[in-house]
Copies of this chain bind each other. A is one copy, B any other.
Amino acid sequence: MELWYTEDQNNILRFSYRVNQSLHVEKTPFQHLAVLDTVGFGRMLVLDGIVQTTVWDEFIYHEMIAHVPLNTHPNPKKVLIIGGGDGGTAREVVRHPRVEKAVMVEIDERVVAAAREYLPELSVELDNPKLDLRFTDGIKHVAASRNEYDVVIIDSTDPVGPAVGLFSREFYSQVYQALKEDGLFVAQTESPLFNTDVLARICKDVGAIFPVVRTYLACVPSYPGGLWSFTLGSKKYDPLEVKPEIIPALGYRYYNLQVHRAAFALPQFLKEALGQG
Protein backbone atom coordinates (compact mmCIF):
# COMPACT_ATOMS: atom_id res chain seq x y z
CA MET A 1 0.00 0.00 0.00
CA GLU A 2 1.29 3.48 -0.87
CA LEU A 3 0.17 6.59 0.97
CA TRP A 4 0.25 9.94 -0.87
CA TYR A 5 -0.61 13.45 0.24
CA THR A 6 -1.79 15.81 -2.49
CA GLU A 7 -1.84 19.60 -2.34
CA ASP A 8 -4.25 21.07 -4.84
CA GLN A 9 -3.66 24.47 -6.44
CA ASN A 10 -6.99 25.79 -7.70
CA ASN A 11 -7.78 22.51 -9.41
CA ILE A 12 -5.17 23.15 -12.11
CA LEU A 13 -1.98 21.87 -10.47
CA ARG A 14 -1.36 19.27 -7.79
CA PHE A 15 1.75 18.31 -5.86
CA SER A 16 1.72 14.83 -4.42
CA TYR A 17 4.19 13.61 -1.83
CA ARG A 18 4.61 9.98 -0.96
CA VAL A 19 4.08 9.57 2.75
CA ASN A 20 5.48 6.98 5.16
CA GLN A 21 2.87 7.87 7.74
CA SER A 22 0.64 10.60 9.00
CA LEU A 23 2.09 11.59 12.36
CA HIS A 24 -0.52 14.03 13.59
CA VAL A 25 -3.81 15.52 12.40
CA GLU A 26 -5.99 17.95 14.29
CA LYS A 27 -8.45 20.78 13.87
CA THR A 28 -7.16 23.66 15.98
CA PRO A 29 -9.30 26.69 16.86
CA PHE A 30 -7.65 28.45 13.89
CA GLN A 31 -6.91 25.92 11.16
CA HIS A 32 -6.49 22.32 10.08
CA LEU A 33 -3.05 21.06 11.12
CA ALA A 34 -1.18 17.97 9.94
CA VAL A 35 2.34 16.64 10.27
CA LEU A 36 3.29 14.02 7.69
CA ASP A 37 6.41 11.92 7.42
CA THR A 38 7.21 12.03 3.69
CA VAL A 39 9.54 9.70 1.83
CA GLY A 40 11.38 12.39 -0.13
CA PHE A 41 11.33 15.47 2.06
CA GLY A 42 11.24 14.25 5.64
CA ARG A 43 8.63 15.56 8.01
CA MET A 44 6.23 18.14 6.62
CA LEU A 45 3.91 20.66 8.27
CA VAL A 46 0.60 21.21 6.49
CA LEU A 47 -1.87 23.95 7.51
CA ASP A 48 -5.31 24.17 5.90
CA GLY A 49 -4.12 21.82 3.17
CA ILE A 50 -1.06 23.93 2.24
CA VAL A 51 2.50 22.70 2.74
CA GLN A 52 4.21 25.15 5.09
CA THR A 53 7.63 23.62 5.39
CA THR A 54 9.56 20.37 5.10
CA VAL A 55 12.61 19.30 7.04
CA TRP A 56 14.38 18.82 3.71
CA ASP A 57 14.11 22.35 2.32
CA GLU A 58 13.12 24.53 5.28
CA PHE A 59 16.61 26.03 5.53
CA ILE A 60 16.07 28.02 2.34
CA TYR A 61 12.94 29.84 3.49
CA HIS A 62 14.03 30.31 7.10
CA GLU A 63 17.53 31.57 6.36
CA MET A 64 16.23 33.99 3.75
CA ILE A 65 13.39 35.42 5.83
CA ALA A 66 15.71 35.90 8.84
CA HIS A 67 19.24 36.75 7.75
CA VAL A 68 18.46 39.22 4.98
CA PRO A 69 16.76 41.66 7.41
CA LEU A 70 19.06 40.83 10.34
CA ASN A 71 22.17 41.58 8.29
CA THR A 72 20.64 44.69 6.74
CA HIS A 73 20.23 46.23 10.20
CA PRO A 74 23.62 47.00 11.84
CA ASN A 75 22.35 46.22 15.31
CA PRO A 76 19.17 44.11 15.40
CA LYS A 77 19.02 43.87 19.18
CA LYS A 78 15.29 43.38 19.57
CA VAL A 79 13.34 41.36 17.03
CA LEU A 80 9.65 40.54 16.70
CA ILE A 81 8.52 37.42 14.86
CA ILE A 82 4.85 37.26 13.89
CA GLY A 83 3.72 33.69 13.21
CA GLY A 84 6.48 31.20 12.50
CA GLY A 85 4.92 28.57 14.75
CA ASP A 86 7.16 25.79 13.44
CA GLY A 87 10.13 27.52 15.11
CA GLY A 88 12.40 27.71 12.07
CA THR A 89 12.52 31.50 11.93
CA ALA A 90 13.06 31.78 15.68
CA ARG A 91 15.93 29.30 15.41
CA GLU A 92 17.66 31.51 12.82
CA VAL A 93 16.95 34.73 14.73
CA VAL A 94 18.25 33.67 18.14
CA ARG A 95 21.51 32.33 16.74
CA HIS A 96 22.35 35.76 15.33
CA PRO A 97 24.94 37.14 17.77
CA ARG A 98 23.65 40.72 17.76
CA VAL A 99 20.09 39.72 18.62
CA GLU A 100 19.59 40.17 22.36
CA LYS A 101 15.89 39.49 22.57
CA ALA A 102 13.31 37.99 20.22
CA VAL A 103 9.59 38.13 20.86
CA MET A 104 7.65 35.53 18.90
CA VAL A 105 3.89 35.98 18.67
CA GLU A 106 2.04 32.97 17.27
CA ILE A 107 -1.74 32.92 17.23
CA ASP A 108 -2.05 29.13 17.20
CA GLU A 109 -0.46 27.40 20.19
CA ARG A 110 -1.21 24.01 18.63
CA VAL A 111 1.24 24.64 15.77
CA VAL A 112 4.03 25.20 18.27
CA ALA A 113 3.01 22.12 20.24
CA ALA A 114 3.12 20.01 17.07
CA ALA A 115 6.49 21.47 16.08
CA ARG A 116 7.91 20.74 19.52
CA GLU A 117 6.80 17.14 19.25
CA TYR A 118 7.37 16.33 15.60
CA LEU A 119 9.76 18.91 14.12
CA PRO A 120 12.73 19.07 16.51
CA GLU A 121 15.04 20.38 13.76
CA LEU A 122 12.87 23.50 13.53
CA SER A 123 11.67 23.94 17.12
CA VAL A 124 15.10 23.34 18.65
CA GLU A 125 15.53 26.92 19.91
CA LEU A 126 12.02 27.59 21.19
CA ASP A 127 13.28 27.40 24.78
CA ASN A 128 16.29 29.61 24.09
CA PRO A 129 16.55 32.23 26.85
CA LYS A 130 16.68 35.00 24.20
CA LEU A 131 13.17 34.02 23.05
CA ASP A 132 9.93 35.30 24.56
CA LEU A 133 7.17 33.14 23.07
CA ARG A 134 3.60 34.41 23.32
CA PHE A 135 0.37 32.95 22.04
CA THR A 136 -1.75 35.86 20.99
CA ASP A 137 -2.87 37.81 17.94
CA GLY A 138 0.11 39.35 16.14
CA ILE A 139 -2.02 42.25 14.94
CA LYS A 140 -2.97 43.19 18.49
CA HIS A 141 0.62 42.80 19.69
CA VAL A 142 1.91 45.08 16.96
CA ALA A 143 -0.85 47.65 17.56
CA ALA A 144 0.18 47.80 21.23
CA SER A 145 3.90 48.29 20.46
CA ARG A 146 5.52 51.68 19.90
CA ASN A 147 9.11 52.39 18.90
CA GLU A 148 10.13 49.03 20.29
CA TYR A 149 11.65 46.72 17.68
CA ASP A 150 14.70 46.91 15.45
CA VAL A 151 13.43 44.20 13.12
CA VAL A 152 9.97 42.68 12.59
CA ILE A 153 9.66 39.41 10.66
CA ILE A 154 6.21 38.41 9.43
CA ASP A 155 6.36 34.66 8.85
CA SER A 156 2.73 34.02 8.05
CA THR A 157 0.60 31.57 6.13
CA ASP A 158 -1.07 32.65 2.89
CA PRO A 159 -3.42 35.66 2.90
CA VAL A 160 -6.49 33.54 3.54
CA GLY A 161 -7.72 32.32 6.93
CA PRO A 162 -5.98 33.53 10.11
CA ALA A 163 -3.22 35.46 8.31
CA VAL A 164 -5.33 37.71 6.08
CA GLY A 165 -4.96 40.80 8.32
CA LEU A 166 -1.17 40.50 8.16
CA PHE A 167 -1.26 41.53 4.50
CA SER A 168 -3.17 44.79 4.96
CA ARG A 169 -1.92 48.34 4.55
CA GLU A 170 -3.29 49.18 7.98
CA PHE A 171 -1.14 46.45 9.49
CA TYR A 172 2.00 47.73 7.74
CA SER A 173 1.29 51.16 9.28
CA GLN A 174 1.09 49.56 12.71
CA VAL A 175 4.39 47.76 12.03
CA TYR A 176 5.93 51.13 11.15
CA GLN A 177 4.92 52.48 14.55
CA ALA A 178 6.13 49.36 16.37
CA LEU A 179 9.60 49.81 14.88
CA LYS A 180 12.33 52.05 16.26
CA GLU A 181 13.35 55.08 14.20
CA ASP A 182 15.82 53.04 12.16
CA GLY A 183 13.83 49.80 12.16
CA LEU A 184 12.85 47.55 9.29
CA PHE A 185 10.51 44.65 8.63
CA VAL A 186 10.21 41.78 6.22
CA ALA A 187 7.22 39.65 5.24
CA GLN A 188 6.78 36.57 3.11
CA THR A 189 4.73 37.86 0.19
CA GLU A 190 3.70 34.85 -1.89
CA SER A 191 4.60 33.66 -5.37
CA PRO A 192 5.68 36.38 -7.78
CA LEU A 193 4.44 34.19 -10.63
CA PHE A 194 1.07 33.03 -9.35
CA ASN A 195 0.25 36.03 -7.12
CA THR A 196 1.85 38.93 -8.99
CA ASP A 197 -1.07 41.21 -8.19
CA VAL A 198 -0.90 40.50 -4.45
CA LEU A 199 2.83 41.26 -4.45
CA ALA A 200 2.41 44.45 -6.48
CA ARG A 201 -0.30 45.69 -4.11
CA ILE A 202 1.87 44.93 -1.06
CA CYS A 203 4.87 46.78 -2.53
CA LYS A 204 2.69 49.79 -3.24
CA ASP A 205 1.24 49.76 0.28
CA VAL A 206 4.62 49.33 1.95
CA GLY A 207 6.17 51.98 -0.31
CA ALA A 208 3.49 54.45 0.79
CA ILE A 209 4.60 54.01 4.42
CA PHE A 210 8.33 53.19 4.40
CA PRO A 211 11.03 55.21 2.62
CA VAL A 212 12.82 52.02 1.52
CA VAL A 213 10.87 49.12 0.00
CA ARG A 214 12.59 46.16 -1.64
CA THR A 215 11.36 42.81 -2.87
CA TYR A 216 13.65 39.81 -2.85
CA LEU A 217 13.35 36.26 -4.06
CA ALA A 218 14.37 32.73 -3.19
CA CYS A 219 13.56 29.39 -4.73
CA VAL A 220 11.66 27.23 -2.22
CA PRO A 221 11.02 23.78 -3.72
CA SER A 222 8.01 22.94 -1.55
CA TYR A 223 6.12 26.09 -2.57
CA PRO A 224 4.21 26.19 -5.87
CA GLY A 225 6.47 27.14 -8.76
CA GLY A 226 9.49 27.33 -6.47
CA LEU A 227 10.06 31.05 -6.88
CA TRP A 228 8.98 32.90 -3.73
CA SER A 229 8.97 36.56 -2.69
CA PHE A 230 9.75 38.50 0.46
CA THR A 231 9.11 42.22 0.85
CA LEU A 232 11.24 44.41 3.08
CA GLY A 233 10.19 47.85 4.31
CA SER A 234 12.81 49.95 6.06
CA LYS A 235 12.94 53.36 7.72
CA LYS A 236 16.66 53.84 7.06
CA TYR A 237 18.84 50.91 6.03
CA ASP A 238 18.86 49.64 2.45
CA PRO A 239 19.42 45.88 2.09
CA LEU A 240 21.32 46.52 -1.15
CA GLU A 241 23.97 48.31 0.88
CA VAL A 242 24.64 45.36 3.18
CA LYS A 243 28.08 45.59 4.77
CA PRO A 244 30.05 42.38 4.31
CA GLU A 245 31.99 42.86 7.55
CA ILE A 246 28.87 42.70 9.73
CA ILE A 247 27.66 39.32 8.45
CA PRO A 248 28.36 36.79 11.21
CA ALA A 249 29.76 33.38 10.24
CA LEU A 250 26.84 31.18 11.25
CA GLY A 251 27.31 28.09 9.09
CA TYR A 252 24.52 29.04 6.72
CA ARG A 253 23.30 26.41 4.24
CA TYR A 254 21.65 28.78 1.73
CA TYR A 255 22.44 32.38 2.69
CA ASN A 256 25.71 34.17 2.01
CA LEU A 257 26.74 37.68 1.00
CA GLN A 258 26.39 36.99 -2.72
CA VAL A 259 22.98 35.38 -2.26
CA HIS A 260 21.86 38.36 -0.12
CA ARG A 261 22.69 40.79 -2.90
CA ALA A 262 21.51 38.58 -5.76
CA ALA A 263 18.12 37.94 -4.17
CA PHE A 264 17.13 41.53 -5.00
CA ALA A 265 17.73 41.13 -8.75
CA LEU A 266 14.19 40.83 -10.08
CA PRO A 267 13.24 39.20 -13.37
CA GLN A 268 12.14 41.70 -15.97
CA PHE A 269 8.44 40.73 -15.85
CA LEU A 270 8.44 41.36 -12.11
CA LYS A 271 10.26 44.69 -12.32
CA GLU A 272 7.59 45.77 -14.77
CA ALA A 273 4.73 44.46 -12.62
CA LEU A 274 6.16 46.35 -9.63
CA GLY A 275 6.62 49.54 -11.62
CA GLN A 276 10.43 49.31 -11.58
CA GLY A 277 10.82 48.29 -15.22
Contacts and interface: CB of A to CB of B under 8 A. Distances in A.
A193 interface: yes
B268 A253 contact: yes
Contacts of A259: 265-268
Contacts of A30: none
Residue of A221, A224, A254, A261 ringed by the most chain B CB atoms within 10 A: A221
Contacts of A256: 265, 267-268, 271
Interface residues of A, number: 46
A9 to B, nearest CB: 8
Copies of the polypeptide in the assembly: 2
A159 interface: no
Given A18-B11, A40-B13, A265 B268 contact: no
Contacts of A6: 16
A57 interface: yes
A33 interface: no
B226 A254 contact: no
Nearest to A19: B12
Contact of A254 (B252, B255, B269): B269
Nearest to A257: B265
A16 B18 contact: no
Given A12-B39, A15-B13, A18-B11, A252 B268 contact: yes
Interface of A: 2, 4, 6, 9-18, 38-41, 57, 59-60, 193, 217, 219-221, 224-227, 252-256, 258-259, 261-269, 271
16 contacts: A10-B40, A13-B15, A13-B16, A13-B17, A14-B16, A57-B193, A57-B225, A219-B219, A219-B225, A221-B224, A221-B227, A253-B268, A255-B267, A256-B268, A261-B262, A262-B263
